[in-house]
Chains A and B, each alone.
Chain A
Amino acid sequence: MPKRVLLGLLLACGLTAPTLAQEPKAGGVINAVIQPEPPGLMLAMIQNGPTQMVSGNIFEGLLRYSPKLEPQPELAESWSVSEDAKTYTFKLKKGVTWHDGKPFTAADVLFSMEMLKQTHARARTNLAQVDRVEAPDDYTVVFTLKQPFGPFLGIFEVGSMPIVPKHLYEGTDFKTNAYNNAPVGTGPFMFKEWQKGSFIRLVKNPNYHEKGKPYLDEIYWQIIPDAAARSVAFETGKVDVLPGGSVENFDVPRLSKLKDTCVTGAGWEFFSPLAWLWLNNRQGPLADKRVRQAIMYAIDRDFAKDVIWNGLGKVATGPSASTIKYYTDDVKKYPYDPAKAKALLKEAGYKGEKIRLMPLAYGETWQRWGEAVKQNLQDVGMNIETIATDVAGGNQKIGDWDYDIAFTYLYQYGDPALGVGRNYISSNIAKGQVFNNVEGYSNPEIDKLFAEGAVATPDSKRKEIYEKAQKILVEDVPVAWMLELQFPTITRCKVKNLITTGIGVNDGFKDAWLDK
């Protein structure tokens, strides 16, 4: 039932052709929920989700990405790649100004690269492939790579590579720079006010470089810490936008049925959050591949999708989400098959040893999912003990390898070299590491494939390599892949064009308008 309701609403109110065809209207204020309250808005220094959601309106990257993850112009109006795939030349947009009126030039890009290497862990990893960055003139930036790096054009979205104003940060202590609290960017909205614990207010940038945009006058990001209260705020008309993950999943069908309410699962293509169970490959029964395969067969992932996630998302087939490059479903399949799971457990000689299961402390939905998985595993004869922790405590346990099975979900960033390989290559095994290969899987062939895949050319070669890697991984089951998650964004239907890229609400509201 919820599935049908959602589908109906998606069709009725989603990004359908007539909606896109409408002429945007200027003016109006959007009230959106931000959860949790971001620690700060300086995107080059803080990279958590809420910070990007707000600051994606203030700052910009060189590129954006379509829902199909094709690069689109943002601060760069065009780009070219040399034949040896080692030189990338970006032509910057002219006439762009910072919110304080100073012109944006290539010097800002060069400075940002240097600053991000110090302050932005993900950017530092991505930029490790870069030999040098040069600016032959004010509106050209040339990146020369040490070797070809397949996903290079995919690292320039605002959250991964925000461009910061050189004139305000050069020669200052980045940590204590006063502009961290009143960020200045080139984006469609300018920072205006932040009442801690209440709201963050952004106002239209009248000098924005895309003429006529943004359409909205203001955005209020409202801080409402309780999930039920956030639902009520939407219900009572106090907020117009509930970004994905703002409310508990069981509230989604109810809210979807409200008058003038639209729901969409779009806007997660770039991040492609994939949920899986870390399986501690090092010790106990889980060290046996057959037990790990049994877990894949034992868990009813369709049930999780349909009931716990209200039909949103997709059952995962392996380490890559279907939305990212080089995905293949031509891999071993693990349908829900308790009998096969039991047979595999018997074959592996599992004798009821206790296995600890740690759900993710991200709220009710994840707790319920933990209970469902526990039940599935118990049904095939596994002795499961649930371990309850908060997020910090859970991370500590995972980092110390003190777990057997643990829920997680991670972003994939559009390319296997950016978001997939990190979870399976053995060089990422390190105590204290919380997100990359904490399962302890080590396979020299996989290491080699991911190393080759990142630098291989042409594209067809990369495809071949990554498809092979997916097949091996799905056979080995280093982790148990669950679902490609979709966090539904709930809006009033009068809010149009909110999500136009693969980065969704994290990419700023410059295209959004209100059909008043």
Chain B
Amino acid sequence: MLTFVAQRVVKGVIVLLAIVVLNFFLIRLAPGDPAVVMAGEAGASDQVFVKQLREKFGLDKPLPEQLFIYVKGVVSLDLGFSFRQQAPVAKLIGERLPATLLLTLTAFAISLMLGILFGTFAARFAGTFLDTAITVFALIFYAMPIFWVALMGILLFSVTFDWLPSFGYDTVGGNYTGLAHVVDVARHLVMPGMTLGLFFMATYTRMTRASMLEVKRLDFVKTARAKGLADSVIQRRHVLRNALLPVVTLAGVHSGTLIGGAVITETVFAWPGIGRLMYDALLQRDYNLLLGVFVICSAMVLIFNLITDLVYRLVDPRIEFAS
């Protein structure tokens, strides 16, 4: 297993570097010059100022040289300096990472737990009213755009009922500490967490249901029934466990996108996370910051892919690690 992990890590580093190089050029293909954007914001676009900014940020150097400097930095774990925010990229990402992880992991947990639960019920009662109700419920949240669900949530729970805060990570000026702070953050987390979680829940529900129905038809389930095992045991031990493989695959893919996949939710709920940082960086053509976020996101995808492969082994011991 160690050899397997080591091999995957080496491959991952190579892939990561390839991603860095590719993104480096892709970003520069987009029209728009960061120096001009900044000069515009300063209300002054005289050539001297723009030239000064380009020199300051090294944008006047030939592209291969800029790439070399950047890759050299990444190899030594230095993600560079943000032009616009005037701060090291790693620091900016570090400031936002906890909020994003809290949001996306909460959403991930909600979607996975509810998805598997509902999927199991739907499969267990396939063809009944309950199955239809679950399917419709899940599809509604999948079909509706996230920003719409978010805005409707705000309208209902913040404006109409005034139960939950409509934006932010915690109460500004609340100065809560200890448990009160945890409760405060949790209250702020409910709506963004549910909005994002319910969207992904639908896919898990559908996947679990379909997979379970397929497994239920297999011979070993019939054998289990013939052996006289209780239905709950068959469902849990034989059907669900075997049906989980595609769900784990999907979860692996989703978890890789956790960092950058919450842009809309973070924007609507003013959640101070990475998604918003990335979105602003894109609009500002803040190359280093954007690349930095891409590097972190790519690294997360690779790490979660590795974890997914390891989880496969736990779920299905028949799968062996190919060396």
Contact = CB atoms under 8 A, between A and B. Distances in A.
A233 B172 CA distance: 12
Contacts of B45: 121, 433-436
Interface residues of B, number: 57
B312 interface: no
B154 to A, nearest CB: 5
Interface in B61-92: 84-87, 92
B269 A229 contact: yes
Nearest to A50: B41
A145 to B, nearest CB: 20
B230 to A, nearest CB: 50
Given A232-B167, A434-B39, A392 B285 contact: yes
A47 B270 contact: no
Interface residues of A, number: 55
B166 A229 contact: yes
A47 B45 CA distance: 12
Nearest to B84: A39
Interface in B35-61: 36-37, 39-50, 56
A198 B280 contact: no
Contacts of B166: 229, 232-233, 236, 238
A435 B40 contact: yes
Interface string A198-242: 110100000000000000001010111110110011011010000
A393 B34 CA distance: 10
Contacts of B50: 432
B273 interface: yes
A175 interface: yes
Given A47-B43, A392-B283, A232 B30 contact: no
A238 B158 CA distance: 11
A220 B40 CA distance: 27
B99 to A, nearest CB: 7
Contact of A222 (B34, B44, B46, B172): B172
Interface in A30-59: 31, 36-37, 39-40, 45-49
Given A121-B42, A125-B46, A198 B272 contact: yes
Nearest to A29: B173
Interface stretch (A91-99, A394-402, A444-452, A508-516): A394-402
Contacts of B284: 392
Interface of A: 29, 31, 36-37, 39-40, 45-49, 120-122, 124-125, 175, 180-181, 195-199, 201, 218, 220, 222-226, 228-229, 232-233, 235-236, 238, 389-393, 395-397, 399, 411, 430, 432-436
25 contacts: A36-B280, A124-B48, A125-B44, A197-B169, A197-B271, A197-B273, A198-B272, A220-B172, A224-B168, A224-B270, A228-B151, A229-B154, A229-B167, A229-B267, A229-B269, A232-B158, A232-B159, A236-B166, A390-B283, A392-B283, A395-B36, A396-B33, A434-B40, A436-B45, A436-B46
